[in-house]
Structure 1
């Protein structure tokens, strides 16, 4: 999982960075740094994302789209 994947999930769920950060109990700056590639996705953050969003078909499709494109159309 990388920053593009985190952004894809956030955009798919129609959330802002502060909303996602609050849901995952991390700082907004952590989400911003991850999405911008300035920070790696820690194991702890991966676990929180998996526990929160699971691995349903909708999440898997968002991840697949993120892998296909370096830039998400918002």
Structure 2
């Protein structure tokens, strides 16, 4: 999952960075740094999103392909 995908997923889910951080048990600055590309998206966050929101890697791949087609 890329930084851009993380932000797109969060926005699709209509949650704030604070809400996502609380749901995943991480800090808001941690989410912010990942979304800005200053830190790679951690497995903890990727897996947490998959479990908490029932989004799997297939969903992320499909979203990436759709974004590329739109560009």
> Structures share a fold, TM > 0.5?
yes
Query: What is the TM-score when the length of structure 1 is the normalising length?
Result: 0.73
Higher relative contact order (CA 8 A, sep 6+): 1
Query: Is the 8 Å Cα contact of residues 17 and 31 (structure 1) preserved in structure 2?
Result: yes
For residues 65 and 29 of structure 2, the distance between their equivalents in structure 1, rounded to whole angstroms, comes to: 21
Q: Structure 1: give runs of 5+ residues left out of the alignment.
A: 70-74
Aligned to 2:18: 18
Query: RMSD of the alignment, in Å?
Result: 2.5
Query: What is the TM-score when the length of structure 2 is the normalising length?
Result: 0.76
Going by fraction, where is helix more abundant, 1 or 2?
2
Query: Is the 8 Å Cα contact of residues 18 and 28 (structure 1) preserved in structure 2?
Result: yes
Aligned to 1:72: none
Q: How many aligned positions are there?
A: 66
